[in-house]
Amino acid sequence: MTTSPGGFGGGNVMAEASKFFSQFGAGIKEVFSLPKFYENFDVHNGVINQESLTELNTKIENFKIHLANPY
């Protein structure tokens, strides 16, 4: 999971980190990037961009499935 104030939301760093971690045996199950942090996140309400929130919730549910069924 990454975020940044820019439009890519740290996605470039996340892509490189995913490649790096995979080289050491990490099994990347889900990735999520929240762009334009200051526009899409509120300290009291969390992610306020509905599309990003839906994507995040879907990825959380998928990750839970991976935890329950790791193979």
> Among 3, 8, 31, which Cα is nearest to 19's?
31
Buried b (16+ CB within 10 A) or exposed e, 41-69: beeeeebeeeebbeebeeeeeeeeeeeee
Would the pLDDT of 71 be above 90?
no
Task: Quote the pLDDT of residue 70.
Answer: 78
Interval 24-59: pLDDT, tens: 999 889 999 999 999 999 999 999 999 999 999 999
